[in-house]
Amino acid sequence: MAEVFLEAKGVSKTFVGVKALDNVDLTIGKGEIHCLIGENGSGKSTLIKVIGGVYRADSGSVKIEGRELHEHGMQTIETIRAGVQIIYQDLSLFPNLTVAENISINQMLESNQQTVNWKTIQESARKALDEIGEEIDLNERVENLSMAKKQIIAISRALTQNAKLIIMDEATSAITKEEVDHLFSIIMKLKERGISILFVSHKLSEVFEISENITILKDGKQIGVYPTSELDNDKLVYLMTGRELEYAPYIYNKKLAEETPLLSVEGLNKERQFHDINFNLQKGEILGITGLIGSGRTEVAQALFGLNKPDSGTIKMHGKAVDIKKPEDAINNGIALLPEERHGQGLFEEQSIGDNIVITILKSLLVKLGLLSQFKRKKAGDNWIEKLSIKTPTGDNPVNSLSGGNQQRVVLAKWLATEPDVFILDGPTIGIDIGSKHTIHEIIRDLAEKGMGIIMISDEIQEILDNCNRVLLMSNGRIIKEVEDSTTTTADELFDIVTRSYEEEAGA
Ligand SMILES: Nc1ncnc2c1ncn2[C@@H]1O[C@H](COP(=O)(O)OP(=O)(O)OP(=O)(O)O)[C@@H](O)[C@H]1O
Ligand SMILES: [Mg+2]
């Protein structure tokens, strides 16, 4: 093996009631691309935060090039000085600063000058974005950007530093295959320069494509380190989850369809976002919408949920035109949206898990005199925690004590609790581990079989084909193709159509 760069030994960390890490080892060689994988809540982010000096381990050590880190208490700066750049799962960007400021923030902080040289900041941010071939307006405030763009900015920021190890905690969960390909080509170049990478992802295809070695965590324990070449998908899934997963396509029960569709979208337009969007959704259907980022799919979803006002067009529920100006109108008309970005949009991070789940159904839990039934409230929350296997000792814990993937389940539960007629899921399994993904897909199918109309938006064409009976392909704000029966198409065919339409547009 190559010379060792980072060596963590016997790391343990307990939070109240949870043993997040139990005697975990991790070794990363110089210039090695190493993957850390495991189910939601298995301890990946906690281990990374111990390396980063965000949490202090109860026991164990972390050495970098033979020198022990955090010997004298934890210090984030020490990790950075040792040459480690970490892209945390929540990205830690400054929402109210611009793109350029976010990318160059470390340089701004490090420079001894009293005044900020805006020209240098712009130039170095431009250079970082050029390096990964991205065009993003440098003066845009980060809070106005999509999740994918934010991830790109976090990656660019790590690249501007002279890092020897870059740790990416699910930095690619929302970026498209093309962008991931591009990132991987950069990672390969970094590797040639002797830079090590620790990569966390729930997308196993990425793990196989990029990594040389894989460390697997399960319930806070390290259960093995394997050369990637010795594993295949099924083996890895089995090691991670302890079970084998089987997929069958979703077969739509046509009997559920009614003469009047559940939802009809007619001639929906918004300048520069989407054009001439027409489609119907029947009860019991799982309609997939896919296409590259910027295809307009998220904007259409937001329009249906009252978050983005279209210029023209009609939305009908049960054949009747409905006026949706704000999310409340959508909810009252039986439409719910699981947003693409859960942080900020989805959760009150310091409130309890239970309260976050029941927040949308408070009205139905009110008893006479307007008093909230504590009993009902707890019961409703606990019910969903169990149904979605949210990993927590109690629903009274704050949402921010949950692992990333478990926080996503809380958002899902919160909207499911409203029992909508139409449920729009924008990236339903972003950041969800492979075993739980399967569980969530089953829940979605169950809901559809009971008559809910589902719109599933995803980058993962395979996920769309596996779960949707009908698929719309969007490109540049338009629906360019409808696949009536998803069992007749392969993921490669769909992907080809999407990329070709983009190339044509670019060439035009
Ligand atoms: N600040 C905290 N307070 C209490 N418990 C915590 C805290 N941070 C993490 N935990 C718990 O530690 C365990 C490991 O969480 P961690 O975030 O490391 O998981 P993960 O492997 O990164 O999962 P994911 O894939 O969902 O991101 C979980 O049970 C989580 O609830
Ligand atoms: Mg995590």
**pLDDT higher than 70, residue 345:** no
How is residue 79 written in tokens? 């990790």
In whole angstroms, give the CA distance from residue 134 to residue 150: 12
**Distance of alpha carbon 296 from alpha carbon 254, whole angstroms:** 29
Q: What is the CA(32)–ligand 2 centre distance, in A?
A: 21
Q: In the prediction, which pLDDT does 109 show?
A: 67
Which whole number is the average pLDDT over 415-428? 90
Give 169 Cα–ligand 2 centroid separation in angstroms.
7
The token pair at 240 is 């991670």
Looking at residue 364, what is its pLDDT?
Answer: 65
DSSP code of residue 174: T
Non-local (6+) Cβ contacts of 21 within 8 A are 11, 12, 13, 43, 46, 47, 50, 57, 220
Distance 166 CA to ligand 2 centre (A): 16
Residue 289 has pLDDT above 70, yes or no: yes
For residue 70, is pLDDT > 80? no
Query: Rounded to an integer, what distance in angstroms lies between the CA atom of residue 54 and that of residue 69?
Result: 12
- Please give the pLDDT value at position 363: 64
Tell me which DSSP letter residue 374 carries. H
3-class SS of residue 128: helix
- Listing DSSP states for 197-239 in one string gives EEEE-S-HHHHHHH-SEEEEEETTEEEEEEEGGG--HHHHHHH
Strands (DSSP E) found in 40-101:
59-64, 67-68, 84-87
Question: Does 207 score more than 90 pLDDT?
Answer: yes
% residues pLDDT > 70 (the chain): 92
Question: What average pLDDT does the structure give for the chain?
Answer: 86
Closest ligand to C-alpha of residue 44 is: 1
pLDDT attached to residue 284 = 96
Which atom of ligand 1 lies closest to the CA of 21? 14
- Specify the range with the lowest mean pLDDT, choosing from 20-29, 277-286, 372-381, 459-468: 372-381
Measured from the CB, is residue 429 less than 6 Å from ligand 1? Answer: no
Tell me the C-alpha distance between 441 and 434, whole Å.
Answer: 11
C-beta separation of 180 from 16 below 8 A: no
420-449 burial, b if ≥16 CB within 10 A, otherwise e? bbbbbbbbbbbbbbbbbbbbbbebbbebbe
CA distance 457 to 291: 9
pLDDT digits (tens, 9 = 90+) for 294-342: 789 989 999 999 999 999 999 999 999 999 999 889 989 999 998 877 6
Q: Tell the CATH superfamily of the 4-241 domain.
A: P-loop containing nucleotide triphosphate hydrolases (3.40.50.300)
Distances (CA, A) of 127 to 84, 137, 189, 426: 21, 13, 16, 32
> Given a cut of 70, is residue 372 above it in pLDDT?
no
Q: Does the pLDDT of residue 437 top 60, yes or no? A: yes
Binding site membership of 174 for ligand 1 (Cβ less than 6 Å): no
Cα 389-392-398 angle, rounded to 5 deg: 120
Distance from the CA of 36 to the center of ligand 1, in angstroms? 14
Boundaries of CATH 3.40.50.300 in the chain?
Answer: 4-241, 249-334+420-508
Residue 181 or residue 49, greater confidence = 49
Supply the DSSP symbol for 344.
Answer: T
pLDDT of residue 385: 92
Residue indicated by tokens 């799962």: 89
DSSP lists the bridge partners of residue 366 as: 372
- Residues 79-119: tens digit of each pLDDT: 888 889 988 877 778 888 888 888 887 777 666 666 667 78
pLDDT exceeds 60 at position 74: no
Nearest to 418 by CA among 355, 359, 489: 359
Q: Which of 76, 47, 407, 92 is nearest to 198 (CA)?
A: 47
What is the Cα–Cα distance from 234 to 245, expressed in whole angstroms?
Answer: 8
Query: Of the ranges 238-252, 314-328, 387-401, 430-444, which is most confident?
Result: 314-328
Can you tell me which atom of ligand 1 is nearest the CA of 217?
21
Nearest CA to ligand 1 atom 8: 401
pLDDT value, residue 367: 58
pLDDT exceeds 80 at position 174: no
Contacts 24+ apart (CB under 8 A), 340-344: 340/146, 340/147, 340/174, 340/298, 340/301, 340/426, 340/427, 340/430, 340/457, 341/146, 341/147, 341/174, 342/407, 342/408, 342/411, 343/90, 344/95
The Å distance, Cα 418 to ligand 1 centre, comes to 27
- Measured from the CA of 403, which atom of ligand 1 is nearest? 17
Domain 249-334+420-508 is classified in which CATH homologous superfamily?
Answer: P-loop containing nucleotide triphosphate hydrolases (3.40.50.300)
Ligand 1 pocket test, candidate residues 11, 12, 14, 15, most atoms within 8 A of CB: 15
| 3-state SS, residue 113 | coil
CB distance 334 to 317 below 8 Å: yes
Tell me the pTM: 0.81
Ligand 1 midpoint to CA 44 (Å) = 8
Does 43 have pLDDT greater than 90? Answer: yes
pLDDT band at 182 (very low <50, low <70, confident <90, very high): confident
Contact 301, 485 (CB under 8 A): no
Protein residue with its CA nearest to atom 5 in ligand 1? 401
**What SS3 state is found at 31?**
coil
The pLDDT score that the predictor gives to residue 507 is 63
Start-to-end C-alpha separation, the chain: 50
Given a contact cutoff of 8 angstroms between Cβ atoms, the answer to whether 163 and 83 are in contact is: yes
Residue at token pair 């740790």: 167
